[in-house]
Chain A
């Protein structure tokens, strides 16, 4: 039987990160793109926790704490922007939102 080391967690995190990156590139709904960004952040969190256990340092878990806070702030502001855009242009996709004004 295989030995469960941190490499398994790292491989899984890399796969989740790659799936999130591909989703960010192929999806056009801004909400779903945000969800893909959350996937990538979670993959990085998993990597941090894995290295935290592998290197026996709690700093990785502290960084995960800050990543959670930054992700929450990012989602709040990003969803505010999306709501402001969707009120003016219902059904807008990422291709329609190409100007940083209006």
Chain B
């Protein structure tokens, strides 16, 4: 009992110190490391209460994934500025927050200590802890029988969270929706990666000479075409005559075909 008490006191002190560090330290990196201390303390308290599997996933998921994600975001955003806790954005915010925190503490202590075991006083008949089964076996059996629908919904939740994170962190092109809200404009100016294949967006230097060349060609072509038409007018009789001859030959061939069919 003395060992359990000592464990509880040490882990509880680490938890409370880490929690105070999360709230009171000014550097976000220090906040994240204080959060790690609290998470490890809670994991020790889980072990002290027989929840070995939960202690393991507490360390793996929280300290190994979530806090690392926090640190990634801190490093990515470059939040190395320390926040000033002295100024109140709202008048009396800190005093109000302390009073509200004490009220929360008092109310939760009242509910937790007045309720609890005295609600029914009966031991669990469905999933008792003291049947000699290992912790992981008991939790797994409960998860896949009584809580199986919640487990399935958890899978859906994780999928939706992953998709949402990808959509949110994707860099959207263009300007923000309201420019008066962001007068300095977006931090990243979107530039097209590939050139326009039609060549329409190349600018005035590329388009004007092409238009002038087209105009000159059109005028010269019109003149040439007029001259050609004028010259061809005199030769119209010859071509007509040739066409007449061809037509006569075609008629003869058709007549031959008809006669062959008749024979």
- B254 contacts the other chain (Cβ, under 8 Å)? no
B38 touches A16 (CB 8 A): yes
Known: A42-B39, A49-B46, A81-B168. A25 touches B51 (CB 8 A): no
B16 touches A22 (CB 8 A): no
Out of A13, A29, A55, A61, name the residue touching B28 (CB < 8 Å): A29
CB distance from B137 to the nearest CB of A (A): 10
- B105 contacts the other chain (Cβ, under 8 Å)? yes
- Chain B residues near A47 (CB-CB < 8 A): 112
B169 touches A16 (CB 8 A): no
- B20 contacts the other chain (Cβ, under 8 Å)? yes
- B61 contacts the other chain (Cβ, under 8 Å)? yes
B23 touches A22 (CB 8 A): yes
Assembly CA distance A51 to B116 (angstroms): 7
B57 touches A76 (CB 8 A): no
Known: A58-B142, A88-B176, A102-B181. A65 touches B116 (CB 8 A): no
Assembly CA distance A101 to B139 (angstroms): 42
Task: Taking A3-B1, A16-B38, A17-B108 as given, write out 12 further A-B residue pairs in contact, using a Cβ cutoff of 8 Å, ordered by the A residue number.
Answer: A2-B5, A13-B112, A15-B105, A20-B19, A20-B22, A23-B23, A25-B97, A58-B128, A61-B135, A69-B158, A73-B161, A79-B165
> Chain B: residues with CB nearer than 8 A to chain A?
1-2, 4-5, 8, 12, 15-16, 19-20, 22-23, 28, 31-32, 35, 38-39, 42, 45-46, 49-51, 53-54, 57-58, 61-62, 65-66, 69-70, 73-74, 76-79, 81, 83, 85, 89, 93-94, 96-98, 100-102, 104-105, 108-109, 112-113, 116-117, 123-124, 126-130, 135, 138-139, 142-143, 146-147, 150, 154, 157-158, 160-162, 164-165, 168-169, 171, 176-178, 181-182, 186-188
